[in-house]
Amino acid sequence: MAKLTEEQRQQRATARARREALAREERHQRAEERRQRWRREGTYLSWEEYKAGVPCRGCGQPLLGHASDRPPQSRMTNREREERDNAEKQFLERHGECHEGRWLVSGCPVVHCFACCPTPPMGPKQAEELAKILFSSRSEDRKKELDVWRLTLTCDHVIERTQHNSHSSYSMGITRCSECETDRGVVSSERVGPLCDQEVTREPGTPGPVERERLAAELASAEAKLKRQQRNAAATQIHIDEIRAKLTARANDGGLT
């Protein structure tokens, strides 16, 4: 078989990325259709219903319990292993053909299915914490932590999105296309740079103030790491010299043959 050229390898990689993006898009569309059906049919529980112990409207099984979290398999007792096996058997009887993954609520031994069972509602405290996070993301300090990414979608539209700079690649496989006004799979992504720097006029190819600040911090961290490594290397060299000196002294004393 002839060896592929670099161009052919790139073409295959692009085609594979598109297939994977289309598959993610299809799964997302199925999940969205399922969520809309649950809303229409009233399958979702309210927070009050959930706390009152109303069972899952998808499968009829309970969502709340009083059991402790299941320990790792290596620490399970025979009874706990039997309970786990029974729960797995019951889950497969109910959802063996769903193939959409599973979830459970801490303290309840019943396993639920993503295809059939809506997850529990968000509580007031969780909603409050989420609101705080979303509110803080509007501050200028938070804005400096965001990067702009240029995304190519399955519809071939190119859009820009932001995410936290701790990510080395774009983390979302599905995003909203502003042109199509629908959710699309992400085929490829390219980091443009810090969000704040996109608002500053500068020479092409030169880092903006936020990028320079990040690079300076990265340089300082790397230099500090190098100094620690140099100190450790110097200490190791001293230890090596001491061992050699002891060996030389023993040899001169006739301690070694």
Digit-coded pLDDT (tens) for 82-98: 888 888 888 898 888 88
Whether residue 215 lies inside any domain: the answer is yes
Query: How many whole angstroms separate alpha carbon 107 and alpha carbon 253?
Result: 72
Total number of domains in the chain:
3
Q: pTM for the complete prediction?
A: 0.67
Whether residue 129 lies inside any domain: the answer is no
Q: Identify whether residues 16 and 117 lie together within a single domain.
A: yes
Domain that holds residue 48: 6-124
- Nearest-5° angle of CA 250, CA 253, CA 257? 70
The structure tokens 């020479």 sit at 203
Whether residue 72 lies inside any domain: the answer is yes
Digit-coded pLDDT (tens) for 97-148: 888 888 988 888 888 999 999 999 988 888 888 777 766 655 666 778 889 9
Whether residue 81 lies inside any domain: the answer is yes
Whether residue 42 lies inside any domain: the answer is yes
Q: Identify whether residues 27 and 77 lie together within a single domain.
A: yes
Q: Identify whether residues 90 and 29 lie together within a single domain.
A: yes
Q: Which of 93, 124, 155 is the last residue of a domain?
A: 124
Q: Identify whether residues 218 and 255 lie together within a single domain.
A: yes
Whether residue 1 lies inside any domain: the answer is no
